[in-house]
Structure 1
């Protein structure tokens, strides 16, 4: 991978090839054989930690929203839901 592919584009900048491949993987990883972590490693050559850090940053990029609004909105909802669950557990509230 080139240096440009290693880092995500700054917010508001065009998506990098890696960013587009991350969105593509999120769209259809469940069709791959094996686990999502295997798909991440095989298709992107990344570890899962780096992948999820890049994905999280990508979800806040307006260009990602333009590229695939349904996917980005769905992933933002999942992220928000998980964050609420973590905070509820941390502060001792029951989660539904």
Structure 2
């Protein structure tokens, strides 16, 4: 297991959702907090989507998990509309 994999393994769905609840919109402070946890922002968002869909994430923070899932669905729908003929 690489050092990056070990850092990711230490971040729980509850941790990811707590960070998202603290900073719901994108900001430089949020990026700094993400990097302080040893993650790249892109990887954080990948893990956040996975956490929001997991049973552990929903149990930890149902409101934030639902908000993340709805945001993902909204963006997917917008992307589908742009691509559709």
Report 1:17-36 matches (<5 A). Answer: 18-19=11-12, 20-29=14-23, 34-36=28-30
Higher relative contact order (CA 8 A, sep 6+): 2
Residues 16-35 of structure 1: CA deviation (Å, up to 9, x unaligned): x51222111101025xx834
Q: Does the residue aligned with 1:45 lie in a helix, a strand or coil?
A: coil
Compare the two structures and name the one with the higher helix fraction: 2
Aligned residues: 79
- 1:37 maps to what in 2? 31
Q: Which runs of 5+ in 2 are unaligned?
A: none
Quote the Cα distance in structure 1 between the aligned partners of 2:47 and 2:28.
22
Q: Which runs of 5+ in 1 are unaligned?
A: 8-16
What TM-score comes out, normalization by structure 1 length? 0.68
What TM-score comes out, normalization by structure 2 length? 0.76
- 1:49 maps to what in 2? 42
Q: Residue 51 of structure 2 contacts residue 57 of structure 2 at CA under 8 Å; is this kept in 1?
A: yes
For the pair shown, the structure with the greater C-alpha radius of gyration is 1
Q: CA RMSD in A?
A: 2.3
Instruction: Tell me which of 61, 69, 73 is aligned to 1:68.
Output: 61
Q: Which runs of 4+ in 1 moved over 3 A?
A: none
Quote the Cα distance in structure 1 between the aligned partners of 2:64 and 2:8.
22
